[in-house]
Amino acid sequence: NAGVTQTPKFQVLKTGQSMTLQCAQDMNHNSMYWYRQDPGMGLRLIYYSASEGTTDKGEVPNGYNVSRLNKREFSLRLESAAPSQTSVYFCASSDQQGAGNTIYFGEGSWLTVV
């Protein structure tokens, strides 16, 4: 039972390089999310997709773009990486956007920008 799968798990980028984090879920969830986790700051929402075909900005969208490719897949792109984007990135999904819906997380992607 894979749940939420994200790749790559580790990546080192040079400033200015671009890359895409891939995410897929096999739970038939409607909503998907990208968070970043930084020490002492908890998780901050970068972008989310409430349903297939829609995407919206979260708290910290600058420097990122997303694509909801289909119901299963939600990718995060860094067009020109900056050291401030060094972080751990988590993809997540939930069944729908209701109040009580639990979020399911991937294992994380550790990104270092040098």
Partner 1 sequence: AQSVAQPEDQVNVAEGNPLTVKCTYSVSGNPYLFWYVQYPNRGLQFLLKYITGDNLVKGSYGFEAEFNKSQTSFHLKKPSALVSDSALYFCAVRVNTGGFKTIFGAGTRLFVKA
**Binding status of residue 97 toward partner 1 by CB under 8 A:** yes
Question: What does the block give as tokens for 13?
Answer: 């980028």
Total site size for partner 1, rule CB under 8 A: 26
Pick from 80, 59, 76: nearest CA to 68: 76
Among 43, 67, 71, 86, binds partner 1 (CB under 8 A): 43
**Binding status of residue 50 toward partner 1 by CB under 8 A:** yes
Buried b (16+ CB within 10 A) or exposed e, 3-13: ebebeeeebeb
Under the rule (CB under 8 A), what is the footprint of partner 1? 4, 35, 40-45, 48, 50, 56, 58, 90, 92, 97-108
